[in-house]
Structure 1
C-alpha cells in the first residue's frame, strides 16, 4: 500500500555523529540548590516543593543520573522536519515524537496556550524597583544565576514574601531558563514574580519547553555543544518512549503513592554506556506519541510552520490502524552530509589527487618521472632536424649554437673561449641555476650548460661592448647534445598564486620589433615600473631577491600579444631550469638570518623573548579611553553597569586593588595562549599549555564525586569532572586550541586558581617531575594547614587522568596512580597589595613560561597600576572584542562527565 510523503532522516543511516563529548547544560547547579535550601526555613521549603513549580526541586533532590550519550544518540536519530516545536526520532523503523504534549505528560507542568507568552504585560512599580535593588540586579535586566545565589546568602532578614519571590526566581533561572550562570534572564518574565499567584499559575511548562526547543533547533551535534533549558526531560522521554530502555538502564523508582508522580520523578537515571546507540536500536517496542484526539495532536504555537510530511506520520497511524512501520518506509540517506574531521578530509583529498594522476599517466608517478628523460632523448633528434631551419638564436649563450636551440641558448657549462670570439660582459652574466630542462626548452632553448662564446650576438637590454671580431657560423652537428633535447610532457602545471607573483625573477617579454615571418623573438628583460612584478636589479639586469629562492619562468603564447605575461610554476616533482643574471656579489645576511623571514616555501620567524614588563603605550591607552566613550553605558553608574559593558570590564581591570573577575583572568590566559601558538620559540619550552579558571574551578568543585566513586580492580573507572577529557586532549580551552595531549605532548600546565572568590594564586603542574608549584602573592591570606585540602584535587586527579587516558598498559604503568607532591614557594616570590593578587598571578605564569626570573623591581607594588594598564592595552589590541564575549566553555563544567 502506498503511503504519503514522509520526512527524511537528518543523518544517513550508519553515519550518525558519534558522542565524543558530554553535552553541556546549566540545570544542575548544586550551589543554587544548597543556597536555596539554607535561605528558607523547613516550612517554607516544603511549601515550595508542594507548589506547582515544586517538581523541579523534587527532581533535584532525587539525584537524577545524567546520561549524555543517550540524549546525544537520540538527537542523531532525528528526522529532518520543518516544525520548530516538535521533534521526531527514528528508533529502528519506529518514529518517536517529542512535542509539547509529551513534555506536559512527563513534567506535569502547566502548558496551556496564552498570547504574548514571553512578553506579558507587567507594570513597573516602586515595590519592584525596591526588590530588584535588594537583589542587586539592573531594573532592565533579569537576574542571573550567580546573582540569585548571592542574594540567597543575604536574604535572612527579608520578608517571607520576598524570600518566596527569590525562591521562585531560583527555579526560573536555574531550571526554566537554564542558561549560563552569568547570563541575565529575561526581565519581562522575571517581573511576574511580583504577583506570586500569577507567577505560580503561569504556563511555565510551555516556556520551559520553548527554551529547550529553541536551543535544540539546528544544533550542530558533531562536536562540543551546549543546550539551554531543562534538557534532562529528553532523557526521561527516552525512558518513557522506549519502555525497555527505561526498565533496563533508567533505574525506575518504586512508588505506591496515589496519585502517581509524573514520569520526571519516576526514574533515578544512570550514567551513559559506551554501547548506548546499540542499546537504543535493539529495542523493538516504542511508544510513538501521547495519543489524543486528532484535532488536539498539534499544539498551537504563534510562529509554528506547516510541515505536511511530519503531519503525515500521525495521519497514517490514525487512518490505517493497525499500522506497522518497516525500514522500507524510510529513506536511508539523510539530508545532511557525512561529517568528516579535517584530518580525514585531507587524506581523502590526497587519495583523489593520486587517482587522477594514475588515470592520466596509467603508470606509477615515480616511474614516469624516471622514464621521461629517456623518451625525451629518443624524440629530440627527430624534432631537432625538423625545427633546425626555423631556429632563430639570441646572444644569451656563448657556445656555438646547436640546431635544438630554437630561439635562445642558455647553458650551465663552464665557458670555453675560442680564438674567434670573446664573451661580452652582458653575456657572461647570464647563466642557469637548475639542472633539469623545463617544458619551455623548445621555445627558449634553455639547457644545462654554462654560456660559451657564440659566433653572433643579438640586442640586449643593456648595450654591450663590441667584440674585436665575429666568428663565422660553424657547421651544424649531426647529433645534438643531450642537454638540449626536448623532454616529454610533464605533470600538470600550477598557476602561481597572486601573493607570490612578486617573487618571479625574470619573464619573457615579446619584442614587437623582432617579429618576422611568424617567428617571435623573446629576450630576458627587466620589467618596467608599469609591469608587474617589479624587481630589484643590478646594472639593469634581473636578479634574485635572495640567493636561495627558486626562480620561476613566465611563458607566453607567441601568437597572442599580451600586456602582462602569465606566470606559472611547475609541479614540485617536475625537473625545472632557471635563468638568472650574474652580478657582483655583496656580503649580506642570509634570508634565514633576518627576522622575520618571509620566503615562500619556508616561513621562519625567529623572535627573541619579549619583555613581560614593557613601558606603557600612552597613545594606545588614549585610543582605548576614546573607544570606551562610545559605550552606551559609559555614563551609567558603575554599580548599574551590566557585566557585558566594556566600560565596566576595563574599569575593573585598570582600577588599582580591584578584584579581577574570572573573565579578566581568562582574557589574559587567552593572550598567553595566542602568543604561544603564534611564536612558541619565545617561551622556555614548546611542551606547555595555559588553562583558564574553568579547569581549577571544576576540578576543585567536583572532587568530592571523584573521591566518593569506587575504583575497579585496576584502580580506574572513577568519576572525573565534566570536561576533564577535553582538557587532557587540548580541546579546551576552545580559544586557540592546542590539541595536544598531556604527557604525550605537554609537560607543563599553567592555571590560575580562585580561592573562594577572595584570592587568586598560580599553579604550575610539572608532569615529568610529578610535582606542583604554587605561587602566592599574599601568603597571609590563607592558613598554611588549609593548603593540603586546596591542592588535593590536583594532586590526586592529574596522575589519575594520565593513567586513565593512557593508550597502552606500558604508558599506564609509566604514569602511575601515585599522588603528586606540591610546594608553596614563598622565597623570592614578590608580594602584592590586597586586591592585586589576580594581576600578580597572571604575571607569575607569564614570567615563568618565558623563563624570566621574578624581579623585585618589576614586581614592585608601585608598578601594579602600570601592569594593569599594560594588560588592558594588550588585551584590547590583541584580542579585539573576544574578551567581551561569553566564555563558551563555561557550560562544559556543570555536573559530572558521563
Structure 2
C-alpha cells in the first residue's frame, strides 16, 4: 500500500495546536460522591458501590490524576475519519482507534445497542411524585447541582428512592457529565423508576456517544470544556501504549480482573509528554493484543474506504507501517515546508514549540479535502500576501521607532498613575443608576450621590479598574479563552459600595415574609449585568452567570481578590498577605459578610415567583486560600496587582505562576500597562 491510500493527518506534523490551552471537564464533580455517600445508609452504599455502575465510585476513590496535555496530544495526532463515532490517531507511524469497542474495554459497562428513546409515556404518577420529592421540574432531567441539593434532604425517603437518587447522581455526574447546573435528558433520567432495569441499561453506549460528540465539536487551539466521561480518553492513551502507561500512568499493582479504568492512578504535570509518547510508539507499535480482536471490521467502516484500508493493513501480518505512508501535510494548520533537493523538512519539536498558534478550525468542521496540494496552496497565499503587504510593511518599519517611543511614554504614564490614589471618584457615575424594580422599595431614592463621598472609596486605584475592564473586553471578544462564558468581572466599586451600605440593609424593616429590605443602589443592574457599563453582558446572575470575580478592600489599606460562585453558594478569597495574616480571619469574615448576606437576598428578591425556592436567604459560605497555595506579596504596595493576576489566571483556568512574585513586579506592571495600551 502507498501513502495516498491512507487518510491524511488532521494537522500538519509539527504544526499541531500547542498544548498551552486547558481541557476542562465536568465529570466526577468533587461534591457529588461525598454527597451521595452521606445520603445513603451503609448497606445502601455497599449495594450501590458493588453495582455495575459502581465502577465510577471506585474510580473516584483512585483520585485519578488528570493529564490535559496527554489527551491534547492524542487528539492533535488525529487522522481524518469521516465516521461519526470513531477517532483515529497516529502515534509515530501506527494508527490507533478510539471507538465503542475500546471504550467498552476501558469502562467495563454494558455498551449494547439501544434505539433512540422517545419515552413520552413514562411520566407516571410515581415518576411525578419522585421528581417532586427531589424538587425538580417534572419535564426536566435533574442537574448535578439539584441532585447534590437533594442529597441533604433525603434522610426520610424510602430506601428505593434514596437508591434512585444515587443512580441519578451517577448518570448526571459521570455518564453525561454536563455543566453542573444544566438539565439532563429527562427520558434517560426517568428510567431510574425501574431500578433493576436502570442498572442493566446500556449506559456505556450512552456515555460513549455523549463523550465523542463533545470531543468532535471542539477547537483544540482554544481553552475547552469536554462533556462526558473525558478521563476515558486518558486511559485510552495507556491502552494504546502499555509501555508508556507503565512508566507514566502510575499503574496499580495486581489489577487483573477490573476494567482498565481502574488499573491506573494517572499522572499530573509530566514534562516532555509528546516526546515520550512517540518514543514508546517506536518501541511498541500498538497494544499487545491480537489485531483482529483489537480492530474488528465494523459495518460503519464501509462509510470510509480509507479507514477500511487501515484496518486491512493492520490485519495483514506481512504489512508494516512506515513514515512513508503518512505525508507530513495535514488538512488543518498547514504551512509552507522548506524544500531542499526535492525533499521537504519540518522544524524540530523544540523549535516548533516556539511557533505561534495557527490552527483555529475545529476538527469537526472538516468534511473532505478537495483542494490542491499544501505547498502549492500556501505558496500562492504567501505570494499574494507579499504583493499586497509590501508597501504597508515598509511604512510600518519606517514608523517603528516612533511607535516604540510612544509606547514607552504610555508605560511611564501608567506607572505614575499606579502610584497615585484616584481623586476623581465622582467620575464613576456609571456605577450608580437610579433604583431598579426588583431590589427593594423606593427607599433608595435620594442616596444616589452619597456613594462617592465615602473616604473608603478614595482608595480605588485606576490601574485596577482599567485592568478589570480589559478582562471584560477580552471576555466579550474571546469567550473561548476563558474557563467559561458564564462568568463576569466586577470592578472594586461594587464590593466597596455594598460594604458601605450593609448597615442600612440590616437596619431596614422587612415585610412579614422577609422581603423588601434595603439593598444597595444599582443592585438590580448588577444582577442583570448592566453594570459596570463597560462591555455590558446583560446576563442574569445564577441563570446565565455561574460566578463572578471582584476585589474587596480590607483594613482600609489592603486588597484581596474574591471569586463568588452562585453554583456552590461560596465565596473564595485570595489574599496576597494570607501567610502574614495582615488581616485576621475575623477581619476577612467581617469584610465578606455584606456580600455573603446580600447576594443571596438579591437572588431571592429578583427571582420569578415560581423559582424563588431555589434561592433561600441563607448566607453564602466563604474561605480564604492558605498562603502556602498561592503566590505571596512580601513587600507592601503590590496587593492590587496580585489581586488582578489571581483573577486573570483563575478565569483563564491557568495555575498561579511562580513568576508572580515581588522581584518581577516592575516587569509585571509594565506588561499590564502595555496590554492596556495595546488593547484599549
By the TM > 0.5 criterion, same fold? yes
| Helix, strand or coil at the partner of 1:24 | strand
| Helix, strand or coil at the partner of 2:23 | coil
Question: How far apart in 2 are the matches of 1:761 and 1:360?
Answer: 53
CA displacement, residues 557-602 of structure 1 (integer Å, 9 cap, x when unaligned): xxxxxxxxxxxxxxx9xxxxxxxxxxxxxxxxxxxxxxxxxxxxxx
Q: Call closer, same or farther: CA 1:62–1:807 in 2, change over 3 Å.
A: closer
**Alignment partner of 1:270 is 2:267:** yes
Q: Call closer, same or farther: CA 1:64–1:325 in 2, change over 3 Å.
A: same
**Alignment partner of 1:693 is 2:512:** no
Q: Which residue of 2 aligns with 1:334?
A: 330
Q: Which residue of 2 aligns with 1:791?
A: 624
Offset, 1:672: 2.5
| Helix, strand or coil at the partner of 2:10 | strand
CA displacement, residues 630-665 of structure 1 (integer Å, 9 cap, x when unaligned): xxxxxxxxxxxxxx9xxxxxxxxxx745999xx999
Q: Call closer, same or farther: CA 1:796–1:325 in 2, change over 3 Å.
A: closer
Question: How far apart in 2 are the matches of 1:219 and 1:668?
Answer: 29
Q: TM-score, normalised by structure 2?
A: 0.59
Offset, 1:24: 0.7
CA displacement, residues 431-474 of structure 1 (integer Å, 9 cap, x when unaligned): xxxxxxxxxxxxxxxxxxxxxxxxxxxxxxxxxxxxxxxxxxxx
Gaps of 5+ in 2: 336-354, 361-381, 403-425, 438-485, 487-514, 538-544, 552-557, 599-618, 634-641, 647-655, 669-680
Q: Which residue of 2 aligns with 1:598?
A: none
Offset, 1:297: 2.5
| Helix, strand or coil at the partner of 1:10 | strand
Q: Which residue of 2 aligns with 1:35?
A: 35
Determine if contact 1:119/1:189 at 8 Å carries over to the other structure. no
Offset, 1:263: 0.8
Greater helix fraction, Structure 1 or Structure 2: 2
Determine if contact 1:78/1:87 at 8 Å carries over to the other structure. yes
Offset, 1:615: 2.9
| Helix, strand or coil at the partner of 1:96 | strand
Determine if contact 1:83/1:305 at 8 Å carries over to the other structure. no
Q: Call closer, same or farther: CA 1:310–1:34 in 2, change over 3 Å.
A: same
Q: Which residue of 2 aligns with 1:246?
A: 245
Q: Which residue of 2 aligns with 1:518?
A: none
Q: Call closer, same or farther: CA 1:219–1:676 in 2, change over 3 Å.
A: closer
Q: Call closer, same or farther: CA 1:692–1:608 in 2, change over 3 Å.
A: farther
CA displacement, residues 691-733 of structure 1 (integer Å, 9 cap, x when unaligned): 9836699xxxxxxxxxxxxxxxxxxxxxxxxxxxxxxxxxxxx
Pairwise CA RMSD: 4.9
Question: How far apart in 1 are the matches of 2:518 and 2:290?
Answer: 59
Please give the residue correspondences for 1:244-643 in structure 2 after superposition, counting only pairs within 5 Å: 244-255=243-254, 260-283=257-280, 284=282, 285-287=284-286, 297-298=296-297, 306-318=303-315, 320-338=316-334, 356=387, 608-616=427-435
| Helix, strand or coil at the partner of 2:207 | helix
Determine if contact 1:236/1:263 at 8 Å carries over to the other structure. yes
Which moves more between the two structures, 154-163 or 44-53?
A: 44-53
Q: Which residue of 1 aligns with 2:50?
A: 50
Determine if contact 2:17/2:359 at 8 Å carries over to the other structure. no
CA displacement, residues 67-92 of structure 1 (integer Å, 9 cap, x when unaligned): 11100110111111111100111111
Offset, 1:138: 0.7
| Helix, strand or coil at the partner of 1:16 | coil
| Helix, strand or coil at the partner of 1:790 | strand
Q: Which residue of 1 aligns with 2:96?
A: 96
Question: How far apart in 1 are the matches of 2:525 and 2:622?
Answer: 23
Q: Which residue of 2 aligns with 1:176?
A: 175
Q: Choose 1 or 2 for highest CA Rg.
A: 1
Q: Which residue of 2 aligns with 1:147?
A: 146
Offset, 1:40: 1.0
CA displacement, residues 34-90 of structure 1 (integer Å, 9 cap, x when unaligned): 001111122211111211111111111121111111001101111111111001111
Question: How far apart in 1 are the matches of 2:396 and 2:219?
Answer: 43
Q: Call closer, same or farther: CA 1:696–1:92 in 2, change over 3 Å.
A: farther
Please give the residue correspondences for 1:156-235 in structure 2 after superposition, counting only pairs within 5 Å: 156-235=155-234
CA displacement, residues 8-42 of structure 1 (integer Å, 9 cap, x when unaligned): 11100000111113211011212101001111122
Offset, 1:614: 2.7
Determine if contact 1:101/1:299 at 8 Å carries over to the other structure. no
| Helix, strand or coil at the partner of 2:623 | helix
Question: How far apart in 2 are the matches of 1:61 and 1:188?
Answer: 30
**Alignment partner of 1:17 is 2:17:** yes
Question: How far apart in 1 are the matches of 2:517 and 2:302?
Answer: 55
Offset, 1:754: 5.7
Gaps of 5+ in 1: 346-350, 370-571, 573-606, 619-643, 645-654, 678-690, 698-746, 817-898
Q: TM-score, normalised by structure 1?
A: 0.45
Please give the residue correspondences for 1:750-765 in structure 2 after superposition, counting only pairs within 5 Å: 751=562, 753=564
Determine if contact 2:175/2:228 at 8 Å carries over to the other structure. yes
Offset, 1:124: 1.5
Question: How far apart in 2 are the matches of 1:814 and 1:175?
Answer: 45
Question: How far apart in 2 are the matches of 1:111 and 1:692?
Answer: 34
Offset, 1:366: 11
Offset, 1:790: 2.8
Question: How far apart in 1 are the matches of 2:4 and 2:397?
Answer: 58
Q: Which residue of 2 aligns with 1:872?
A: none
Question: How far apart in 2 are the matches of 1:141 and 1:111?
Answer: 25
CA displacement, residues 513-547 of structure 1 (integer Å, 9 cap, x when unaligned): xxxxxxxxxxxxxxxxxxxxxxxxxxxxxxxxxxx
Q: Which residue of 2 aligns with 1:541?
A: none
Q: Which residue of 2 aligns with 1:85?
A: 85
Q: Which residue of 1 aligns with 2:554?
A: none
Tell me how many residue pairs correspond in the alignment.
Answer: 467
Offset, 1:611: 4.7
Please give the residue correspondences for 1:842-861 in structure 2 after superposition, counting only pairs within 5 Å: none
Determine if contact 1:32/1:174 at 8 Å carries over to the other structure. yes
CA displacement, residues 184-213 of structure 1 (integer Å, 9 cap, x when unaligned): 000010010011111111100000000000
Question: How far apart in 2 are the matches of 1:192 and 1:692?
Answer: 29
**Alignment partner of 1:674 is 2:528:** no
Determine if contact 1:70/1:276 at 8 Å carries over to the other structure. yes
Offset, 1:218: 3.4
Question: How far apart in 1 are the matches of 2:569 and 2:659?
Answer: 40
Q: Which residue of 1 aligns with 2:66?
A: 66
Question: How far apart in 2 are the matches of 1:172 and 1:48?
Answer: 13
CA displacement, residues 412-445 of structure 1 (integer Å, 9 cap, x when unaligned): xxxxxxxxxxxxxxxxxxxxxxxxxxxxxxxxxx
Offset, 1:316: 1.9
Determine if contact 2:249/2:265 at 8 Å carries over to the other structure. yes
Determine if contact 1:32/1:170 at 8 Å carries over to the other structure. yes
Offset, 1:151: 0.6
Determine if contact 1:10/1:78 at 8 Å carries over to the other structure. yes
Q: Call closer, same or farther: CA 1:676–1:137 in 2, change over 3 Å.
A: closer
CA displacement, residues 818-844 of structure 1 (integer Å, 9 cap, x when unaligned): xxxxxxxxxxxxxxxxxxxxxxxxxxx
Question: How far apart in 1 are the matches of 2:294 and 2:630?
Answer: 56
Question: How far apart in 1 are the matches of 2:5 and 2:35?
Answer: 53
Question: How far apart in 2 are the matches of 1:76 and 1:238?
Answer: 13
| Helix, strand or coil at the partner of 2:122 | coil
Offset, 1:751: 3.7
Question: How far apart in 1 are the matches of 2:38 and 2:24?
Answer: 27
| Helix, strand or coil at the partner of 2:95 | strand
Determine if contact 1:763/1:775 at 8 Å carries over to the other structure. no
Question: How far apart in 1 are the matches of 2:158 and 2:60?
Answer: 26
Determine if contact 1:56/1:171 at 8 Å carries over to the other structure. yes
CA displacement, residues 367-402 of structure 1 (integer Å, 9 cap, x when unaligned): 999xxxxxxxxxxxxxxxxxxxxxxxxxxxxxxxxx
Q: Call closer, same or farther: CA 1:153–1:672 in 2, change over 3 Å.
A: same
| Helix, strand or coil at the partner of 1:90 | strand
Question: How far apart in 1 are the matches of 2:45 and 2:198?
Answer: 17
Question: How far apart in 2 are the matches of 1:777 and 1:364?
Answer: 59
Question: How far apart in 1 are the matches of 2:565 and 2:66?
Answer: 27
